[in-house]
Amino acid sequence: MIVKDELLGTLRRHFDLNLYEVKLWTALLSRGVSTAGELSDIADVPRSRSYDVLESLEKKGFVVMKLGKPIKYIAIPPTEVVDRVRKNMNVQAAEKVKRLESVKGSPLMNELNTLHTQGIALVDPAEMSGCLRGRNNVYNHLDLLIKDAKKSVNIMTSDTGFMRKAEGLRPTLEKAKKRGVSIRISAPITKQNKKIADSLKGVAQIKHNEKIRSRFVTVDSKDMVFMTLDDKEVHPSYDLGVWVKTPYFTTAMDHMFDSHWKGK
């Protein structure tokens, strides 16, 4: 039995399996019932690993071990496997979230914060910069910076970037506004995003901008994240942001933003 590598890769991602697991599972699906040795030959998996891998699949709910000898395995219907995997993932995710929540306010968190504070104190501010690969990482870092904002957040973005930020950063922006942080957003306001702009009026000052094509965010005139690529031409996974902590450069960008804001 030959299963395309593309299919194996897709199954691995969707069902959270390793290569041997997905090979033996698809081999068993093609047979219905089979021994570990037969599956090993079909799937091209070392016999020394087959029993361990099939035991793992059994624990995850993909197969059932048949009573009797020789030991055989029965394939569970794929629709049932999907339900089982979803349930298991939900349970595991809930357990992980619970463990993480228990860390907040614990001695472990105090110890981690102490380590971080001491470590950051030794770092030259000029070295506080980083490359953010992928749009999710960019937005996660923006969220982190805005959470710590004390005075100002200035955002210049594209029309679609404005909609993404309104969706992904709204809760953090609302909290920053309640802390007294000044929030200004400059972006092309279009028919597609006008309702979103109106809904943000209580959170941020918004200015229509169709002259300057740029994407950057400054926070407290200290931190800046700027995107290096056109979001209309790059896939979200390949979007690239650069974070720098430099009051000198960030203040200069804020002055430029102020000039644009005042129409100079």
pLDDT tens by residue, 66-98:
877 888 899 888 888 898 888 888 888 898 888
The two three-digit tokens of residue 131, written as one number: 């490359």
Q: Are the C-beta atoms of 187 and 258 separated by less than 8 Å?
A: no
Q: Are residues 73 and 140 in the same domain?
A: no
Residue 123 pLDDT greater than 60, yes or no: no
**Residue 109 pLDDT more than 60?**
yes
pTM of the model: 0.60
190-233 residue pLDDT tens:
999 999 999 998 899 999 998 888 999 999 999 999 999 999 89
The C-alpha atoms of residue 185 and residue 228 are separated, in whole angstroms, by: 19
**pLDDT (tens digit per residue) in 161-183:** 999 999 999 999 999 999 999 99
Distance CA 202, CA 199 (A): 7
Residue 247 tokens, joined: 């009051």
Residues near 210 by Cβ (< 8 Å), separated by ≥ 6? Answer: 188
Residue 150 covered by a domain:
yes
Q: Kindly state whether residue 140 falls inside one of the protein's structural domains.
A: yes
Examine the domain organization and report whether 226 and 129 are in the same domain.
Answer: yes
Q: Which domain holds residue 56?
A: 5-77
Kindly list the distances between the CA atom of residue 233 and the CA atoms of 132, 165, 220, in Å, as whole numbers in the listed order.
Answer: 18, 18, 30
- Amino acid residing at 83: D
Contact in structure between 229 and 175 (CB atoms under 8 Å): no
Q: Are residues 59 and 140 in the same domain?
A: no
pLDDT, residue 177, reads: 95
> Which tokens in the block code for residue 101?
């929540």
Which residues, in sequence order, are CB contacts of 117 under 8 Å at separation 6+?
A: none
Mean pLDDT rounded to a whole number for the chain: 88
Confidence of residue 106 (pLDDT cuts 50, 70, 90): confident
Query: Residue 113's pLDDT is what?
Result: 75
Residue 161 lies in a domain: yes
| Angle subtended at Cα 56 by Cα 7 and Cα 6, rounded to the nearest 5 degrees | 10
136 lies in a domain? Answer: yes
Task: List helix spans (H) across the chain.
Answer: 5-15, 19-31, 36-43, 47-59, 78-103, 107-121, 135-147, 159-178, 194-199, 247-261
Amino acid letter for position 13:
R
Neighbours of 107 (CB within 10 A): 8
- Same domain? For 137 and 31 the reply is no
DSSP state at residue 76: P
Asked if residue 143 and residue 31 are part of one domain, the reply reads no
Encode pLDDT of 18-35 as tens digits.
999 999 999 999 888 999
Does residue 73 belong to any structural domain of this protein?
yes
Whole-number pLDDT of residue 1: 54
Number of domains making up the chain: 2
135 plus 254 within the same structural domain: yes
**Chain segment 60-73, per-residue pLDDT in tens:** 889 988 877 888 89
Q: What angle do CA 105, 108, 113 make, to 5 degrees?
A: 80
pLDDT at residue 127, rounded to an integer? 54
User: Does residue 138 surpass a pLDDT of 70?
Assistant: yes
Looking at residue 185, the DSSP 8-state letter turns out to be: E
Do residues 177 and 244 share a domain?
yes
Q: How many CB atoms lie within 10 A of CB 145?
A: 20
Establish whether the linkage from the previous residue to 247 is cis, with ω within 30° of 0.
no
Predicted confidence at residue 20, as pLDDT, reads 92
